[in-house]
Amino acid sequence: MLITILAAQKGYIKEAQFMRLFHYYRSFRISEENTLMKWKQEKTDKGWKSVDDNNATDGDLDIAYALIQAEKIWPDSIEHYGDAAQKLLESIKNNNYSEKTGLLTVGNWATVDPKAETLIRFSDMMPTYYKAFADFTNDPFWTKLEENATKALTQMSQETPTGLLPDFAWVGANSITPVKPYEVSGKNDGDYAYNSARVPLRLADSDNPKVEKSVK
């Protein structure tokens, strides 16, 4: 959806193409009330099915951002992208936020787990998105989240020899510590790897000097 909306901003596609992806998202929401998207679908004999009712936070952030941009491009659409964005942002706020850390969790499954609630994935930290969400909703929650994420990014970047961020880290009362190998999904969990390789993309368009320093 994000790539498609960027193409639409350049005039390369029509709404019909974006709408197909929007309908796919709607087909795999957790529920009408909780509009987070189920993170993975598999093809079965009975069609495409979700593997579980969990979401991946970064994916829903991309969807929300794309919907906000879609509302700007097609304000008169029968799909009401702005309403969908508003509802999704509320679902993210209610299901992907940790009061303990002041940051987003890696998914709704982690939010309800006392230990996993303090697990963070730096590719979920998108200050530019948070600012856009704050402007769209007028909700100070997103402004505070932008501040907290920027602080976490800066702190972790300064504490690593290369400045590169790990895929995952634990947040303590006054510390952020890279996870150990195999604590989450594999031997590179605490390294700059599959997930954190997306961090430069997430931060590249920020005009925040602190964020720019982390990118460099």
Residues classed as catalytic: 58
Helix (H) or strand (E) holding 213: helix 209-215
Residue 28, helix vs strand vs coil: coil
114's tokens: 């006392």
Residue 120, helix vs strand vs coil: strand
Q: What is the DSSP string of 62-83?
A: HHHHHHHHHHHH-TT-TT-HHH
Token look-up 């930290």 returns 125
Helix (H) or strand (E) holding 104: strand 103-104
